[in-house]
């Protein structure tokens, strides 16, 4: 009986680690920066708005990493999608066509990534890194690094700068994607197959799971979600530009891992990824309010991320033991 209770406590500690870290960091920033407006309602909403794209991409990132894979193309896909959407709106002014082409583009990139990993046996890190360079370079090439402005106000309102009452549309889109992600991950066979594939692919295969299909589907999902992130970038900034999403792949990985997903696969939490993403945004916001230089912000942010991930990993190891 005692050992059973101890094991249960360890599992709960691991499950809620991201929330403990989140609350702890929030309290520290609230005390240290409360006088500088950190707790101001507008500032807190701004954090949610600024982290919307990372949060949405992190939904699919949870599926990919829980399956034991990694996708480094998400930032480049977001940038390229923003460029595609901007160019289509410039030529046709059709929101539906722009959305359809943008999301299909992202899904196709995800399909290519999945095929490279499953059919050709390339390591996900190398396959997606190579694709990332190709996509980012293409985004720079098609307009010779020039931005493409968007004049369609309806598009920008729906996918970027608009709001429903006091709630920005970016926050609403984030909530919608997390509802979808939580249902898929926790309530469907696909979510269970993702965890089984990441936990032990051989055993999952013997139990009848098509692990190849599962991994390809996760990559397609990642590409489509990243493409929608690019659409939100375009709407929020009212233009398409090749530099959007630069470094987002690292932010997504950090958010997902901090949220409780193991990089080796087999475990994951969609809602944890949301808190991990908001934590990242909260850190960025606090460091700016603290008037630190860009170099100092980079050092402190990196240290906090390393510490947060280390604490999460220690809890996961205790759970396994």
CATH of the domain at 63: 1.10.3470
Residue 282 counted as domain residue: yes
Count CA atoms closer than 13 A to 110's CA, side-chain side: 32
What is the tally of helices (H) and strands (E) in the chain?
15, 4
Residue 178 counted as domain residue: yes
Q: pLDDT-derived band of residue 314, with 50, 70 and 90 as boundaries?
A: confident
Residue 147, pLDDT > 70, answer yes
Residue 21 counted as domain residue: no
Residue 3, pLDDT > 70, answer no
Domains identified in the chain, total number:
1
**pLDDT score, position 6:** 45
Q: Extract long-range pairs of 182-189: CB within 8 Å, 24+ residues apart.
A: 182/270, 182/271, 184/63, 185/62, 185/63, 185/66, 185/268, 185/270, 186/270
Residue 122 counted as domain residue: yes
Portion of the chain with pLDDT greater than 70, in percent? 92
**pLDDT score, position 52:** 97
pLDDT tens by residue, 250-277: 899 999 988 989 888 999 999 999 999 9
Domain ranges, residue 95: 26-320
Mean pLDDT computed over 55-64: 98
Mean pLDDT computed over 184-188: 97
Q: What is the dihedral of CA 184, 271, 313, 299, to 10 degrees?
A: 130
pLDDT tens by residue, 226-254: 999 999 999 999 999 999 999 899 899 99
Query: 200 and 266 in contact (C-beta within 8 Å)?
Result: yes
**pLDDT score, position 5:** 44
pTM of the model: 0.92
Residue 128 counted as domain residue: yes
pLDDT tens by residue, 70-105: 999 999 999 999 999 999 999 999 999 999 999 999
Q: pLDDT-derived band of residue 318, with 50, 70 and 90 as boundaries?
A: low
Residue 296 counted as domain residue: yes
**pLDDT score, position 107:** 98
Average pLDDT of the chain to the nearest whole number: 91
Q: How many CB atoms lie within 10 A of CB 9?
A: 11
Residue 69 counted as domain residue: yes
Q: pLDDT-derived band of residue 8, with 50, 70 and 90 as boundaries?
A: very low
Residue 12 counted as domain residue: no
């Amino acid at each position: 009986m005692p050992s059973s209770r101890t094991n249960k406590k360890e599992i709960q500690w691991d499950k809620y680690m991201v929330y403990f870290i989140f609350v702890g960091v929030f309290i520290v920033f609230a005390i240290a920066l409360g006088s500088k407006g950190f707790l101001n309602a507008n500032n807190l909403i701004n954090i949610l708005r600024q982290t919307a794209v990372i949060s949405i991409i992190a939904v699919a990132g949870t599926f990919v990493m829980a399956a034991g894979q990694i996708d480094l193309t998400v930032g480049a896909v977001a940038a390229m999608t923003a460029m595609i959407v901007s160019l289509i709106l410039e030529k046709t002014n059709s929101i539906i066509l722009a959305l359809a082409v943008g999301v299909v583009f992202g899904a196709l990139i995800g399909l290519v990534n999945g095929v490279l990993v499953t059919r050709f046996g390339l390591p996900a890190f190398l396959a997606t890194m190579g694709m990332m360079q190709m996509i980012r370079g293409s985004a720079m090439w098609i307009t010779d690094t020039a931005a493409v402005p968007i004049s369609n106000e309806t598009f920008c309102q729906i996918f970027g700068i608009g709001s429903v009452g006091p709630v920005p549309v970016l926050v609403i889109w984030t909530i919608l994607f997390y509802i979808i992600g939580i249902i898929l991950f926790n309530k469907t066979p696909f979510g269970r197959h993702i965890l089984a594939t990441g936990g032990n692919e051989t055993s999952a295969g013997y139990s009848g799971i098509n692990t190849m299909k599962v991994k390809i589907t996760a990559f397609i999902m990642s590409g489509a979600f990243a493409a929608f992130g690019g659409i939100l970038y375009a709407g929020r900034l009212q233009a398409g530009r090749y530099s959007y999403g630069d470094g987002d792949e690292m932010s997504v990985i950090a958010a997902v891992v901090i949220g409780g997903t193991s990089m080796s696969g087999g475990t994951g939490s969609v809602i944890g990824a949301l808190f991990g993403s908001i934590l990242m945004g909260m850190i960025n916001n606090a460091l700016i309010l603290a008037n630190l230089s860009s170099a100092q912000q980079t050092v402190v942010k990196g240290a906090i991320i390393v510490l947060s991930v280390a604490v999460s990993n220690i809890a996961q190891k205790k759970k396994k033991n």
